Amino acid sequence: MMSSYQKIMAGLIVGLLMLGLIQISVASVVSTGDFNKDFYIMWSPSHVSTSSDGRTRSLKLDQESGSGFSSNQKFLFGQIDVQIKLIPGRSAGTVVAYYLTSDEPNHDELDFEFLGNVVGQPYLLQTNIYINGFDNREERIKLWFDPSKHFHTYSILWNIHQIVFMVDGIPIRVYRNHGEKGVAFPMWRPMSIKASIWNGESWATNGGRDKIDWSQAPFIVSFRNYKIDACVWKGYARFCRVDSPGNWWNNNRFSTLTFRQRSLFKWVRKHHLLYDYCHDYKRFQFKLPKECSLPKY
């Protein structure tokens, strides 16, 4: 039979284990859907409009200022989805960004950047990945629809296995965790979710040759139906890196693309890819980054 001391210690151990499970289970959060509750305005509140129910938020760019907002929480792994309706008409020179960032000098960052264009030319979508403050990992695609006519869903799946950028559920970019082969991967720094609109006319459209036509201002982008299903940062990376029911994204099922996703990914790469840093031999003087020679799935 167990002594009183053994019973007390056993109870303590069970309690600690349960506490750990509780901490892990509450690490995952499904967002409220209310921009007023989950986000704060980073700058220019006069250029930010939110619907009365908090479900839709718009950002404005004019000659006075751009604008942006950021999540109240930081996250380490998960999936972030948001529906965005981009600027109609001539949007040349404007940049709309939706991204995750750790906000540090040597920061990690996962970027969607929507580059405006002249009328008749498609919006370009640029993605980029910063790790330890280094980027140089740009990719660009032309979208297969007009993103200014309707809302479309843009998603980032970030887990211990891979990073997947998706448009309406279609994977457009994959960055695998090849850490065991010396390739950098964001594993430690929690990131906040941000969105902004700003003047990028020096580079965004046609290499900076097409400038913003301010007679078309204000330029407005709208966001709605965001979903944050991610590990809220509580100061313990191990809670976010475990494979648990709360951290579903770390499950082995999400360690690579499905067969269907691979087919869609290949379709995007074949028909819509405009630029891939892994093909830019001149830029890297024929010494491409190590991940360029490694499999994506």
For the annotated catalytic residues, the residue numbers are: 109, 113
CA distance 186 to 104: 13
Which are the contacts of 41, defined by CB distance < 8 A and separation ≥ 6? Answer: 48, 67, 68, 69
- Kindly tell me the burial class for residue 20, based on how many C-beta atoms sit within 10 Å of its own C-beta (0-12, 13-18, 19 or more): middle
Alpha carbon dihedral 28, 31, 35, 36, in 10-degree steps, equals: -80
Contacts 24+ apart (CB under 8 A), 181-186: 181/290, 181/294, 182/290, 183/289, 183/290, 183/291, 183/294, 184/131, 184/132, 184/134, 185/131, 186/102, 186/108, 186/110, 186/129, 186/131, 186/158
Which pair of structure tokens corresponds to residue 110?
A: 């996962």
Contact 82/154 with Cβ under 8 angstroms?
Answer: yes
